[in-house]
Chain A
Amino acid sequence: MDLLTRVLFTLLGLFIILNWGLLMTAIMRKLTARVGKRVGIRWYQPWINLVKLYSNRNSISHGVMFQLGPVFRLLGGVGLVMFMPLIYGSELFTNFSFAGDLVIILYIKFFGMLGMALGAGEGGHPYSAIGVSRGLSQVTTVELPFTLAVIALAVQYNTLSITEIVAAQQGGILNWTLFTNPVATAAALLSMLGIFMHSPFDLHKAPNEIPIGPPTEYHSSYLGILRTNAAILHVIEAVLFMNLFFGGATSWPMLIVKTFLIYFISVFVGVVFPRFRIEQSVRWFLQVPLILGIVAIILIL
Chain B
Amino acid sequence: MVEPVYIVASGLGIAFLLGLINKAGKNPAGGVMLLALAFMTLVSLQWMSSVVFAGNSPHYTFTAGFQPPFSISLMMGEKEAFFTTLVNLIGLLGGIYLWERFHKQGVNTMIVYLLLFVGLNVVVMTRDLFNLFVFLEISSVAITGLVLLQREHKAITAGFKYLVATGIISGILLIGIIFIYQYGGSLYIDDIIAANLTAVKGGMVAIFLVLIAIALELKPFPANGWALDLYQGAHPGVAALVSGAFASAMVFVLYKLLPIAGGQWQTMFATLGALTFVGSNLLGIKQNQSQRLLGYSSVGQIGLLVMVVGLAQFLGDRLTLIAYGLLISHYLAKAGLFWLAGVLDQDQIRNWAQLRKKPHLLALFGTFIFALVGFPPFPSFFAKWELIMQLSAGSGYVWVGLILLGSLLEAVYLFRWLGYALKLDHQQLPAINIQWHKIIPIVLAGVGLFVLGYLATPIASGTAGINFIPLAFIILIYFLDVLPARVKNIVVIAAMAYYGYLIMPGLEDVRFIFSVIFIIGGILTLLAGFAYKGRRKGFYPAALLMYAGLGQLLTAETMLQFFFAWELMTIGSYILIIRGKNSIRHGYSYMLFSVGGAYLMLAGFGVAYAGSGMADLAAIANITQLAGWAAVLIAIGFMTKTATLGLHIWLPGAHAEAESDVSPMVSAILLKAGVFGLVLLFIHMGGEAASGHPLFYVLGWLGAITALVANLSAVFQEDAKRLLAYSSIGQLGYILFAFAIMTHVGWLAGFTYTLNHFMYKAILFLIVGGIVLRLRTHYMYEMGGLIKRMPYSFIAVLIGIVALAGMPPLSGFAGKWLFYNAGIEKGWYFQGGVIFFSGIIAFLYLYRLIHSIFLGQLKDRHRRVKEISPWFLIPAYTLIMGIMVFSAKPGWILQPIGQAITQYFPSSPLRWQADGTAIGELGYWNGSQVMVIVMGVFILITLWLILLNRKAKKVEQFNIVYAGERPERPETTHISYNIYAGYNKAIGFLATPWISGLWQWIADGFRDLAVQIRRIYNGNGQTYALHLLTYVVVVYLITIGG
Direct contact of A and B (CB under 8 A): yes
| A interface with B by C-beta (< 8 Å) | 54, 57, 59-65, 67-68, 70-72, 74-75, 78-79, 82-83, 96, 98-104, 107-108, 110-111, 113-114, 117-118, 121-127, 129-130, 132-134, 136-137, 139-141, 143-144, 147-148, 151-152, 154-155, 158-161, 216-217, 220-222, 224-225, 277-280, 282-283, 286, 293-294, 297, 300-301
* Cα-based distance from A123 to B959 in the complex (angstroms): 9
Contact of A118 among B785, B833, B851, B922 (CB under 8 A): B851
CA distance A283 to B984 in the complex (A): 11
- Asked if A301 contacts B829 (CB within 8 A), the reply is yes
Within residues 972 to 995 of chain B, which ones have a CB less than 8 A from any CB in chain A? 975-976, 979-980, 982-983, 985-987
Q: A65-B794, A70-B945, A132-B847 are in contact. Are A104 and B925 (CB under 8 A)?
A: yes
Determine which residue in B785, B926, B982 has the highest number of CB atoms from chain A within 10 A of its CB, and name it: B982
A159 to B920, CA, bound (A): 9
> Do the beta carbons of B955 and A61 come within 8 Å of each other?
yes
Q: Interface stretch among B104-112, B341-349, B927-935?
A: B927-935
Q: Which residues of B contact A280 (CB under 8 A)?
A: 986
Is B880 in the interface zone, CB < 8 Å from A? no
Interchain CB contact under 8 A, B934 and A140? no
Bound-state Cα–Cα, A70 to B945, Å: 9
Contact A121-B925, Cβ < 8 Å, known A67-B945, A103-B816, A144-B833: no
Of the residues A72, A108, A279, contact of B986 by C-beta under 8 Å: A279
Q: Given A108-B808, A160-B923, A161-B923, decide whether A123 and B960 contact each other with a Cβ distance below 8 A.
A: yes
Which residue of B785, B802, B840, B951 contacts A140 across the interface (Cβ within 8 Å)? B840
Q: Which of B908-951 contact A (CB under 8 A)?
A: 917, 921-926, 929-930, 933-934, 937-938, 941-942, 945, 948-949, 951
Contacts of B959 in A (CB 8 A): 60
Determine how close the nearest CB of chain A comes to the CB of B841; give it in whole angstroms: 5
Tell me the bound Cα distance from A159 to B922 in angstroms. 4
Tell me which of A59, A98, A99 contacts B951 (CB under 8 A). A59
B844 touches A137 (CB 8 A): yes
Chain B CB within 10 Å — which of A100, A143, A222, A300 has the most? A100
Q: Which residues of B contact A70 (CB under 8 A)?
A: 945
Q: Is the interface of A mostly helix, strand, loop or mixed?
A: helix
The 9 closest A-B pairs by CB, nearest first: A121-B855, A160-B923, A278-B982, A282-B986, A99-B929, A101-B923, A137-B983, A279-B986, A221-B948
Residues B930 and A100 in contact, CB atoms below 8 Å apart: yes
Which residues of chain B come closer than 8 Å to A60, judged between CB atoms? 952-955, 959
Q: A67-B945, A117-B847 are in contact. Are A110 and B982 (CB under 8 A)?
A: no
Q: Contact at B960–A217, with CB atoms within 8 Å?
A: yes
Q: B961–A136 contact, CB under 8 A?
A: no
| B820 interface contact, C-beta 8 A | yes
Contact between chains at A140 and B837 (CB < 8 Å): yes
Contact partner of A104 among B788, B930, B966, CB < 8 A?
Answer: B930
Do B843 and A59 have beta carbons less than 8 Å apart? no
Query: Quick one: closest B residue to A124, CB to CB?
Result: B857
The answer to whether A300 and B844 have CB atoms under 8 Å apart is no
**Interface contact A62-B955, CB-CB below 8 Å:** yes
- Give B982 Cβ to nearest chain A Cβ, in Å: 3
**Contact in complex: A102, B847 (CB < 8 Å):** no
B451 sits at the interface (CB 8 A): no
Q: What does the 1/0 interface line of B543-558 toward A look like (CB < 8 Å)?
A: 0000000000000000
- Smallest CB-CB separation from B855: which chain A residue? A121
B813 touches A279 (CB 8 A): no
Q: Do residues B843 and A121 form an inter-chain contact, with CB atoms below 8 A?
A: no
B952 lies within 8 A of A111 (CB): no
Q: Which residues of A contact B924 (CB under 8 A)?
A: 98, 100-101, 160-161
Within 8 Å by CB of A225, from B923, B945, B983, lies B945
Query: When the two chains form their complex, are residues A154 and B833 in contact, meaning their CB atoms are under 8 A apart?
Result: no
Q: Are A277 and B982 in contact (CB under 8 A)?
A: yes
The reply to whether B922 and A160 contact each other, CB–CB distance below 8 Å, is yes
Q: Complex: how many Å from CA A79 to CA B922? A: 22
Contact with A along B824-842 (1 / 0, CB 8 A): 1001011011001100110
* Bound-state Cα–Cα, A102 to B816, Å: 12
Residues of B within 8 A of A221 (CB): 945, 948-949
Q: Which residues of chain B have C-beta atoms less than 8 A from A154's C-beta?
A: 820, 824, 922
Contact check, A133 vs B952: say whether CB atoms are below 8 A apart: no
Beta-carbon contact of A130 and B975 below 8 Å: yes
B62 CB-CB contact with A under 8 Å? no
A183 to chain B, nearest CB (A): 13
